[in-house]
Amino acid sequence: MQLTRLDRWLRERFVYETHVYTLRLPESVPAGVIAEELPESPGRKYKHRFILRSDTAVNALLEQLRDGSQMFTTRVVDREAWYVPLIAPQGKSISWWLIWLGITLVVVFWLVHLGRNAWADPELRKNVAEAFEILKG
């Protein structure tokens, strides 16, 4: 499946969110950041998770972490929202789906228009009525 520019933009803008994991809290957190403290468990490396949805907030937080010499890791994941499967269906392109929908609508409109014009012809209606009478026996 080939993603178009529109598909990539929709995913970056409305679907993806960045999770930043750290050992300790930074001095300040940019606006719009959701901070969570992760529960203690054996083998867990990080204690804090920050959920960010804008690139500027991600860049600001990462710059603060680098300046503070903190160890961190980032992950880009899909949001858990009701509209995510509609905008970014798994393995499909919404742009191509919309293009095929448009082509289908044009073809259906053209066929309905052609059928209405043909049915407006009284000679055709007479022939169809005679054909039904012959088929009925």
pLDDT band at 20 (very low <50, low <70, confident <90, very high): very high
- Decide the pairing of beta strands 16-22 and 34-37: unpaired
- If you compute the radius of gyration of the chain from its CA atoms, what whole number of angstroms results? 29
pLDDT at residue 27 is higher than 80? yes
Identify the pLDDT of residue 90: 87
> Which helix (H) or strand (E) is 98 found in, with range?
helix 94-119
40-44, 50-54, 91-95, range with greatest mean pLDDT: 50-54
Residues 60, 115 within the same domain: no
Residues 111, 76 within the same domain: no
Which residue range forms the structural domain that includes residue 49? 5-87
CA proximity to 84, closest of 1, 5, 6, 17: 17
Residues 25, 53 within the same domain: yes
pTM, entire model = 0.71
CA distances from 85 to 5, 22, 111 (A): 18, 30, 32
Residues 82, 98 within the same domain: no
